[in-house]
């Protein structure tokens, strides 16, 4: 079984490794990527290939930052048309249903099948089941082969857009909670109410406090990616929904945390001292 | 011991009842209030009084909706000046530190002592310890008497504004999480991703799911009050903090939920069906 995985980041390479371990041959396209990414792909057992070879596989997964999803779709659709191949393309990215509809339109009806996918959970690790790959728009069960190759696939009974919407909603809650905790702990630190807040959280919201203690430091290196993800959630909700503004604010907060990391991590240090105090 | 409690809502009347049960005489000012409020005050053992009598007590607690905090402070400060009394005024409301500074300025230096208070937790019930009353700016320990009268008082080592900041931060997390859950469950319902989202939350964030199952229906009747509270949090964070936008969005969301309740509860019904399904 040949599968192409576009994107050899932490998630893409770990998914690829799982597929390779299950007996699949995994191609990827690495032109213009950093040495670190090329090395990561190699370690995962991914085989560098040109776009025509990628287009020739029966199944292509796009696992890239949300801001790159459209560009990848355009690149792959062009290669498929050039080769006259038919393939199944699964966009697995944290994009809004509206962006997913654009992705599907890029492929049109002449390139094979386009499916809406979304990944919930962290990159798979050896010995663990790994994240869930939700799939919608898959009436023909074209994604079943991925279940046979070691992934946890869960089909949603809904059209293109439903899997993306699920991811938006889940991330909105999960990463939103982390954002709320980050914002309010920082505000408490500025106001010298941080020790009282920490104690109150431990007493009256202990589960939430425990989640924040883990989730906030996990967020620092990912904050720069979460900016675009929060913007996608805001777009997903749409201007008619007052909650769209919540996620514009979340994007700004994560932009601030990304800048803090670039600039030496002053805020991150304050948060860590409070959480470990 | 004579204490005045301004505000005979759910919280004010329950706090007053606790004080009465502990042997205090509790006065309140009810002019222009609804029959339901007058009845609630009476049931709590509060004694209706005019503003001069209120000003003559040694200790006055303001426990009102945040939008009313300034008006109450002006009314009481005027009465204190009229009577030439000195008293301790504790603003216990969910207002920003900036608004609290305004409250303190209204009393100036000639009316006695002004303290910053904030209440975390629900109204006290018989047999329970009840909410915590945080107090800052209390170098002279003027609030100690409330601890002797059955309240859980916790002094914060900080100036006027620190107790208000603590409340803003705690409410931002606690009511923010409820808002995130409400917004994303509604979005999932619109996108037909609600059943998959509910199952994913139960599986991967069970503590948070359990919190939302209780907190979302508890919110419906309070949503109209939370609008102003979210706006106070946004003002507290200030325009320089990108998270201020998060709470402008939260205010809009709660405004929507308040309007939904006024209009028959269509959205609340959808949320309840999903959470109880």
Q: Whose CA is closest to B106, among B74, B58, B65?
A: B74
Under 8 Å between Cβ of B188 and A236 = no
- Chain B residue closest in CA terms to A121: B204
Q: What is the pLDDT of residue A85?
A: 83
Nearest to B193 among A165, A252, A253 (CB): A165
Residue B1 has pLDDT above 90, yes or no: no
* Cα Rg of chain B (Å, integer): 20
Q: What is the pLDDT of residue A276?
A: 86
Domain locations in chain B as residue ranges: 2-158, 165-276
B111-145 pLDDT per residue, tens: 889 999 999 999 999 889 999 999 999 988 989 99
B157-210 pLDDT per residue, tens: 889 999 999 999 999 999 999 999 999 999 999 999 999 999 999 999 999 999
Distance between alpha carbon A120 and the CA centroid of its chain, in Å? 8
Residue pointed to by tokens 């696939």: A153
Burial class of A116 by CB neighbour count within 10 A (0 to 12, 13 to 18, 19+): buried
- Long-range contact set of residues A40-47: C-beta below 8 Å, sequence gap at least 24: A40/A8, A40/A9, A40/A13, A41/A8, A41/A13, A41/A16, A43/A13, A44/A8, A44/A13, A44/A14, A44/A16, A44/A17, A44/A20, A45/A16, A45/A17, A45/A20, A45/A21, A46/A5, A46/A8, A46/A13, A46/A16, A46/A20
Nearest to A252 among B154, B172, B245 (CB): B245
- CATH class of the B165-276 domain in this structure: mainly alpha
Mean local confidence (pLDDT), A144-166: 95
Mean local confidence (pLDDT), A30-37: 95
Residue B277 has pLDDT above 80, yes or no: no
Mean local confidence (pLDDT), A166-187: 98
Helix (H, G, I), strand (E, B) or coil at B60: strand
B224-235 pLDDT per residue, tens: 999 999 999 999
Lowest mean pLDDT among A26-30, A130-134, A233-237, B109-113: B109-113
Mean local confidence (pLDDT), A74-98: 94
DSSP-assigned states of every residue in B69-127? HHHHHHHHHHHHHHHT--EEEEE-SS--HHHHHHHHHHHTTTSEEEEEEEEESSPP-TT
State the best of A117, A193, A210, A248 to mutate against chain B, taking most chain B CBs within 10 Å. Answer: A193
Mode of pairing for the β-strands spanning A132-136 and A152-155: parallel
Mean local confidence (pLDDT), A164-190: 98
Measured between alpha carbons, how far is A169 from A233 in angstroms, rounded to an integer? 8
Mean local confidence (pLDDT), A92-115: 94
Q: What is the pLDDT of residue A30?
A: 96
Q: B259: pLDDT confidence band, cut at 50, 70 and 90? A: very high
Mean local confidence (pLDDT), B46-56: 96
Residue B245 has pLDDT above 90, yes or no: yes
**CB atoms A196 and B244 under 8 Å:** no
Mean local confidence (pLDDT), B49-61: 96
**CB atoms B170 and A250 under 8 Å:** no
Nearest to B243 among A183, A196, A237 (CB): A183
Q: What whole-number percentage of chain B has pLDDT above 70?
A: 100
Under 8 Å between Cβ of B196 and B277 = no
DSSP-assigned states of every residue in A39-56? HHHHHTT-EE--HHHHHH
Nearest to A193 among B158, B185, B204 (CB): B158
Measured between alpha carbons, how far is B254 from B111 in angstroms, rounded to an integer? 37
**CB atoms A179 and B246 under 8 Å:** yes
Say if domain A2-160 classifies as CATH 3.40.50.720. yes
Nearest to B169 among A154, A166, A184 (CB): A184
For the domain covering B2-158, report its CATH number.
3.40.50.720
**CB atoms B196 and A121 under 8 Å:** no
Mean local confidence (pLDDT), A31-39: 95
Q: How does the average pLDDT of chain B come out, rounded?
A: 96
B214 CB neighbours in chain A (<8 A) are: none
Q: B109: pLDDT confidence band, cut at 50, 70 and 90? A: confident
Report H helices in A22-157.
35-43, 51-56, 69-83, 97-107, 144-148
Residue A63 has pLDDT above 90, yes or no: yes
Q: What whole-number percentage of chain A has pLDDT above 70?
A: 100
Phi, psi dihedrals of residue B96, rounded to the nearest 5°: -70, 160
**CB atoms A193 and B156 under 8 Å:** yes
**CB atoms B246 and A246 under 8 Å:** yes
**CB atoms A165 and B180 under 8 Å:** no
Mean local confidence (pLDDT), A60-67: 95
């Amino acid at each position: 079984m040949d599968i192409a995985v576009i994107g050899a980041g932490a998630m893409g390479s770990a998914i690829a490794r799982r597929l390779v371990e299950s007996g699949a041959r995994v191609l990827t396209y690495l032109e213009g990527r950093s040495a670190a990414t090329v090395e990561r792909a190699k370690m995962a057992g991914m085989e560098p290939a040109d776009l025509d070879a990628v287009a020739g596989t029966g199944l292509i997964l796009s696992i890239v930052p949300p801001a790159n999803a459209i560009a990848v779709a355009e690149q792959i659709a062009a290669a498929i048309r050039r080769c006259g191949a038919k393939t199944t393309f699964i966009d697995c990215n944290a994009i809004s249903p509206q962006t997913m509809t654009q992705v599907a339109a890029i492929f049109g009806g002449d390139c094979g099948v386009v499916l809406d996918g979304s990944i919930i959970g962290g990159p798979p690790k050896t010995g663990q089941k790994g994240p869930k790959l939700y799939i919608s728009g898959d009436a023909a069960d074209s994604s079943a082969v991925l279940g046979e190759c070691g992934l946890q696939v869960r089909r949603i009974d809904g059209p293109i857009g439903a899997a993306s919407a699920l991811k938006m909603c889940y991330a909105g809650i999960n990463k939103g909670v982390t954002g709320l905790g980050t914002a309010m702990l920082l505000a408490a630190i500025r106001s010298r109410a941080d020790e009282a807040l920490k104690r109150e959280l431990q007493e009256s919201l202990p589960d939430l406090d425990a989640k924040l203690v883990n989730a906030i430091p996990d967020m620092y290196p990912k904050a720069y990616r979460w900016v675009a993800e929060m913007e996608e959630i805001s777009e997903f909700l749409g201007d008619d929904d007052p909650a769209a503004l919540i996620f514009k604010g979340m994007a700004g907060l994560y932009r601030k945390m990304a800048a803090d990391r670039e600039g030496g991590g002053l805020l991150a240090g304050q948060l860590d001292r409070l959480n470990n105090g």
